[in-house]
């Protein structure tokens, strides 16, 4: 004879109370579940009161430290946990689930295991949607519901399905829509039938929109940002969109956009009132920061922002930053030989980098959906072993459909400056090795470009996405027609696609594909050479923590080598002080796949990643580099408020890329291509490092690789 659940609850509580009075208090050293398939461990552990002690208090390797939180075992709550799990399974459709327990009690410790026999679930055999046929398209609506025919009859998903219908109705102009739920469960036959009946109420328009809480900020500025306007049909999603847009201005601590009336008719027979409640934040803010990066050495940055600048919800922002502190003039402290050792042979890091930008941003530009911005800047930035850019200029941009699913940005940039690279790069790419010719290429020039870019971001997190995807496309045109110097004429395009799939509660599978190309507009003749010139700062570079991780930054793709001495001893040739510089390329391809899953130790704070990267950078007119490179690896991620801190180790079974060799004459600082007896350039073919660990490249970064 099987007792009913209420009788079982009373009996369990009575027995538990008596046991609690007799048992000494113990610490939970282990908590596990066995036999559960329909409900994961995390959901089960969240549904009960008994919780495991922290890792330091449960791990046999760490317990001796005496650290970590020790959570006591409560006999009464443990007995109640059996009932909690039974209720959870019944709510999930498993009416015949049985919960057994195995408890190992020591003098001061206790180990708990819940053995679960789920049984067969009650399945939904029919789901009727009633009362909304004239408003919603019922067949596709049923396919979109969380609970489907054939699924276990989960009460939570049944409620979520009702909420889905309510949301659809409220987005069609029915602010007081409701859904009535009914169901019939045959536990013996393991079948359930259910119905959801919509009660739309009256279709209404937005009447008055009330704004409260705005003091220093002009309510007119707030009103221009609203997606909810009097006379429009009511839509619940427009309330959420308005709330998000107002938050994005940075002027408010909190924003709440809701119906002013809880019952129909309070705002008029066919209209509803909407209230926008805001709480203002300080309109002037200062930020200061400092940090360290292996390719930046020490860096500092600061900023000042004025929100609602001269009214209109616009913002004025002044930012400044310095990097290469400790290795670059005038702040060289000799750190290249110790704490900033990665920069010891980087010629581009000889001077401090800086950037100062003054930007003005205007939201609700012509429409609440568009945003305009203008920025003035001066900068000196260097790319590791590639180039240095010094410029002053301005950027103009208009983002159409801003803060929506697919914002499109049309921008124009204009600057006057110079880009310099290793002299050997000019020799290799453009066959211009004379110092005067190279100086001509590196002179200050005008650079103008029109850029159009679009982003479709459907991920669940900016810092650490696990669901959804991102598609980014960018096209850039530079020519005399848009203000560029005649030397700068090219078209550049890049497409990047990323997707993320959840694995359990904390894990994810992610992949990314990136491709790009540069098409110079025309050839130019200079110093007897026919040149397709693309400035080094606009070329593609590969390798690094966000690219093919088996290569250090900018070490993937074409390279050029410079030596100041060549020694020949029989068949052996030795190059003294051999230095390599990245030339970049006019085509790039990269693909990455990655599994991310939690670690047994600190699963909420640590992740392990298994990844594989493939890619290459090419110069289409130079056949030196061929094929793609494949580099697998492992990584660890530490969760922080700023995003994942990432340490990756990738194995590269390839030597460094080959490249043409040039001889440097230090007396007159001239370069000469090294040729063989037939006059052909002599390439350098670096050998593959001998040991396994010498072929492992370690990358450190903040944020996911993609």
Confirm whether 356 is domain-assigned: no
| pLDDT at res. 462 | 81
Say if residue 66's pLDDT is above 80.
no
Stretch 563-576: mean pLDDT, rounded?
74
CATH number, domain of 694, equals 2.40.160.50
Stretch 151-156: mean pLDDT, rounded?
94
Same-domain status, 260 and 182: no
Could you say which of 280, 313, 335 is where a domain stops? Answer: 280
CATH number, domain of 190, equals 3.10.20.310
Contacts of 105 by beta carbon, 8 Å cutoff, 6+ apart? 23, 26
Same-domain status, 149 and 106: no
Confirm whether 22 is domain-assigned: yes
Mean pLDDT lowest among 18-22, 494-498, 628-632: 18-22
Same-domain status, 560 and 679: yes
| pLDDT at res. 294 | 81
Same-domain status, 240 and 99: no
| pLDDT at res. 20 | 46
Model pLDDT for residues 664-703, shown as the tens digit of each residue: 776 666 777 787 777 777 778 788 887 888 899 998 888 8
Confirm whether 684 is domain-assigned: yes
Same-domain status, 99 and 132: no
Could you say which of 67, 90, 117 is where a domain stops? Answer: 117
Confirm whether 272 is domain-assigned: yes
Same-domain status, 176 and 209: no
Confirm whether 134 is domain-assigned: yes
Could you give the CA distance from residue 696 to residue 550 in angstroms, rounded to a whole number?
Answer: 7
Same-domain status, 574 and 527: yes
Same-domain status, 523 and 640: yes
Tokens of 464: 């650490």
Same-domain status, 157 and 237: no
Confirm whether 680 is domain-assigned: yes
- Mean pLDDT (the chain, rounded): 86
Same-domain status, 170 and 261: no
Confirm whether 534 is domain-assigned: yes
Could you give the CA distance from residue 652 to residue 556 in angstroms, rounded to a whole number?
Answer: 11
Provide the whole-model pTM.
0.78
Say if residue 386's pLDDT is above 50.
yes
Same-domain status, 51 and 195: no
Confirm whether 78 is domain-assigned: yes
Say if residue 649's pLDDT is above 80.
yes
Stretch 61-82: mean pLDDT, rounded?
80
Going by pLDDT thresholds of 50, 70 and 90, the confidence category of residue 126 is: very high
- Interior/surface letters 526-544, b for 16+ CB within 10 angstroms, e for the rest: beeeebbbbbbbbbbbbbb
Same-domain status, 564 and 662: yes
| Domains contained in the chain, number | 4
Write out the residue range of the structural domain in which residue 642 sits.
458-478+485-702
Going by pLDDT thresholds of 50, 70 and 90, the confidence category of residue 383 is: confident
| pLDDT at res. 347 | 83
Going by pLDDT thresholds of 50, 70 and 90, the confidence category of residue 1 is: very low
Mean pLDDT lowest among 401-410, 496-505, 550-559: 401-410
Could you say which of 86, 117, 148 is where a domain stops? Answer: 117
Q: Where are the beta strands (DSSP E) in 131-270?
A: 178-186, 191-199, 205-212, 252-259
Say if residue 2's pLDDT is above 50.
no
| pLDDT at res. 266 | 53
- Interior/surface letters 151-183, b for 16+ CB within 10 angstroms, e for the rest: bbbbeebbeebbebbbebbbbbbbbbbebeeee
Stretch 147-165: mean pLDDT, rounded?
95
């Amino acid at each position: 004879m099987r007792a009913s659940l209420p009788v079982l609850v009373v009996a369990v509580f009575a027995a538990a109370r008596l046991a609690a009075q007799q048992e000494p208090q113990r610490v939970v050293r282990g908590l596990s579940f066995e036999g559960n398939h329909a409900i994961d461990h995390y959901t089960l552990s969240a549904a009960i009161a008994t919780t495991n002690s922290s890792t330091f208090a449960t791990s046999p390797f760490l317990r001796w430290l005496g650290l970590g939180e020790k959570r006591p075992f409560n006999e009464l709550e443990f007995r109640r946990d059996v009932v909690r799990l039974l209720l959870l399974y019944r709510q999930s459709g498993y009416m015949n689930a049985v919960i057994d327990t195995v408890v190992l009690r020591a003098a001061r410790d206790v180990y708990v295991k819940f053995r679960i026999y789920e049984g067969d679930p009650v399945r939904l055999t029919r789901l009727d949607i009633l009362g909304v046929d004239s408003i919603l398209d019922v067949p596709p609506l049923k396919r979109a519901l969380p609970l489907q025919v054939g699924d276990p009859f989960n009460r939570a998903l049944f409620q979520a399905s009702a909420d889905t219908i309510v949301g659809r109705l409220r987005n069609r102009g029915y602010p007081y829509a409701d859904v009535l739920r009914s169901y019939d469960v045959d536990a013996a036959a393991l079948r359930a039938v259910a119905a959801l009946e919509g009660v739309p109420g009256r279709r209404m328009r937005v009447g008055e929109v009330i704004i409260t809480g705005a003091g220093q900020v002009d309510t007119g500025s707030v009103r221009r940002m609203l997606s909810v306007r009097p006379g429009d049909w009511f839509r619940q999603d427009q309330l959420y969109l308005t709330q998000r847009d107002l938050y994005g201005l940075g002027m408010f601590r909190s924003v709440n956009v809701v119906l002013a009336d809880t019952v129909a008719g309070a705002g008029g027979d066919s209209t509803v009132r909407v209230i926008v409640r805001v709480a203002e934040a300080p309109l002037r803010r200062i930020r200061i920061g400092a940090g360290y990066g292996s390719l930046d050495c020490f860096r500092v940055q600061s900023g000042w922002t004025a929100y609602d600048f001269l009214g209109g919800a616009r913002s004025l922002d002044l930012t400044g930053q310095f990097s290469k502190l400790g290795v670059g003039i005038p702040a060289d402290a000799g750190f290249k030989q110790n704490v900033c050792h990665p920069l010891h042979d980087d010629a581009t890091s000889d001077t401090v980098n800086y950037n100062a930008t003054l930007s003005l941003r205007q939201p609700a530009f012509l429409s609440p959906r568009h945003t305009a911005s203008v920025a003035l800047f001066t900068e000196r930035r260097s790319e590791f072993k590639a180039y240095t850019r010094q410029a002053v200029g301005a950027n103009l941009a208009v983002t159409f459909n801003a803060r929506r699913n697919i914002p499109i940005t049309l921008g124009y940039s204009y600057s006057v400056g110079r880009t310099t690279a290793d002299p050997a790069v000019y020799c290799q790419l453009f066959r211009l090795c004379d110092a005067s010719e190279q100086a001509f290429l590196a002179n200050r020039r005008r650079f103008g470009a029109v850029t159009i870019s679009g982003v479709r971001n459907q991920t669940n997190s900016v810092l650490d996405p696990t669901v959804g995807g991102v598609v980014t496309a960018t096209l850039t045109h530079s020519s005399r027609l848009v203000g560029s110097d005649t030397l700068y004429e090219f078209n550049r395009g890049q497409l990047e696609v990323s997707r993320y799939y959840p694995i359990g509660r904390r894990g994810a599978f992610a992949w990314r594909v990136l491709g790009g190309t540069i098409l110079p507009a025309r050839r130019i003749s200079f110093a007897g050479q026919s040149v397709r010139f693309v400035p080094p700062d606009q070329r593609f570079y590969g390798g690094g923590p966000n690219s093919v991780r088996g290569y250090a930054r900018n070490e993937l793709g074409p390279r050029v080598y410079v030596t100041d001495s060549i020694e020949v001893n029989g068949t052996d040739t030795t190059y003294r002080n051999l230095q390599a510089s990245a030339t970049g390329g006019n085509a790039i391809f990269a693909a990455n796949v990655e599994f991310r899953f939690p670690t047994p130790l600190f699963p909420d704070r640590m992740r392990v990643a298994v990844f594989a990267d493939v890619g290459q950078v090419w110069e289409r007119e130079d056949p030196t580099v061929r094929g793609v490179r494949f580099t697998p690896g492992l990584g660890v991620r530490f969760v922080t408020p700023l995003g994942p801190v990432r340490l990756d180790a990738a194995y590269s079974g390839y030597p460094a890329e080959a490249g043409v060799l040039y001889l440097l004459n230090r007396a007159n600082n001239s370069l000469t291509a090294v040729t063989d007896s037939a006059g052909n350039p002599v390439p350098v073919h670096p050998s593959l490092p001998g040991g396994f660990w010498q072929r492992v490249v370690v990358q450190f970064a903040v944020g996911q690789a993609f």
